[in-house]
Structure 1
Amino acid sequence: MPRLNYFFPLLLAVFIILFPPTGIPHPHVFISQRTGFVFDDKGLAGFRVNWAFDEMFSVMISEDFDSDHNQALDANEVAVIKEKAFGYIAPYNYYIHVRIDGKPFEVKFIKSFNAWLDNGTVCYEFFIPCHVVAVDTPKQVVLSPYDPEYYSDIYFPDKTPLNLENAEAFSIETQTARDQSTLIYYDTVNPMAIFLSFKRK
């Protein structure tokens, strides 16, 4: 009998993963993210986030917001996209979850939003200010992009998932891996994360 106490929860977890019940969210939008870690003379200044969307979402955005159907997005069309197809994720940290030395950093606003079409693929770019002063001992930054409701799946491309800007004055180490401290989708998925540490040279 004690073995059954372990067997049934395991069987239930496997069943949920393989056959999600109706109504449980699962990804409908797929986003490839590249992240720029931007530095200034004091330390980290923020994150430049670039998203490239899947084909289906790209077609939907093009049909809804490329009002003149010229396969290009002008300033007015970008403004509408920002309001109607981006701004609604503000309460979710814009899907960018950050910890600095283990403490959560709230993404209260973004800057320099842009959107464009690249051979039919919809791309977004935006900047998240996040100022962390460098010192002689390493500062630890963890950036994990995810939709907590898991309607969107955000992943890193195999090549160049991140880049460093104006980072010459600092010693920097980076790693991309699953964030084992975070679980989403009914505690079944560890989202990807970038682990970065930096200090003054």
Structure 2
Amino acid sequence: MKHLRQGVRRATAFGLALLMVSLMTGSPAPLSAHPHVWVSALAFLGFEDGKLTKLRVQWAFDEFFSLVLYEDFDRNQNGIFEEAEIDAMREGAFTGLGEVGFFTDLRIDNARVAWNGAEDFGIAVSEDGSVVSYSFTLTLPEPVDPVQQAVTISLYDPDFYVAVDFIEDRPLRFRGNDGVACTYEFEEAADNPIYFGAVFPWRAVLSCSGKGA
């Protein structure tokens, strides 16, 4: 997560010295100091031949952290993230999140998937330019039959510097799932507390039927 944290460094100018001490030393900060970045998330579940093969994840940052990204990576200050600037953002404020699984906890029969990097990193901005979004693809190590296997998805930062919340409108969406019908329900991940047991992420539990039955 250190690369995303590097992107927050400019926030010290806004009085977040305590946050930066925590980030650089690894020492825990008070609960009241967390979180400092907010993300609204959406996940597309990609299928091939009735099997789940990948996730396409989108994060929309809060306006404050979006401003930090502009300050750090819009080097010519024209309000547009150009190709070289996107490359710098990927390397400086995204790639290192592989250390914490890109905040994406996908479990198959309760075994957490280990991601082998992320692909197709992209940037989008809202119409008024105030919200910056990341998008990226995570590929499963091998295809998964969600009819025969239990699949859950939870999005969170284990250190709770970043609050990741699913959007309200269809937070999980399905692509290429011909012959497989899936629904999902959310529950608190009571068996997976984070931040010293004070926070319980939300977990989507899939229920699928069809081709693999």
TM-score (norm 2): 0.78
Within the candidate set 191, 197, 204, 1:194 is matched to 204
Regions of 4+ moved over 6 Å: none
Q: By how many angstroms is 1:42 displaced?
A: 4.3
Report what 2:124 is aligned to. Answer: 116
Report what 1:45 is aligned to. Answer: 53
Q: What is the alpha-carbon distance in structure 2 between the residues aligned to residue 159 and residue 191 of structure 1?
A: 18
Tell me how many residue pairs correspond in the alignment: 179
Contact 2:41 2:166 in 1 (8 A): yes
Q: By how many angstroms is 1:88 displaced?
A: 2.0
Larger Rg: 1
Q: Report the secondary structure of 1:112's partner residue.
A: strand
TM-score (norm 1): 0.83
Q: In structure 1, give the amino acid aligned to 2:137.
A: F
Listed as ranges, the matches of 1:137-156 within 5 Å are 137-156=147-166
Q: In structure 2, give the amino acid aligned to 1:193.
A: R
Q: In structure 2, give the amino acid aligned to 1:87.
A: T
Report what 2:7 is aligned to. Answer: none
Contact 2:50 2:178 in 1 (8 A): no
Q: In structure 1, give the amino acid aligned to 2:169.
A: K
Report what 1:78 is aligned to. Answer: 86
Q: By how many angstroms is 1:73 displaced?
A: 1.1
Contact 1:139 1:197 in 2 (8 A): no
Listed as ranges, the matches of 1:27-176 within 5 Å are 27-118=35-126, 119-130=129-140, 131-134=142-145, 137-176=147-186
Q: By how many angstroms is 1:153 displaced?
A: 0.4
Unpaired segments of 5 or more residues in structure 1?
Answer: 1-21
How many percent of aligned residue pairs carry the same amino acid?
Answer: 28
Q: What is the alpha-carbon distance in structure 2 between the residues aligned to residue 198 and residue 71 of structure 1?
A: 43
Unpaired segments of 5 or more residues in structure 2?
Answer: 1-27
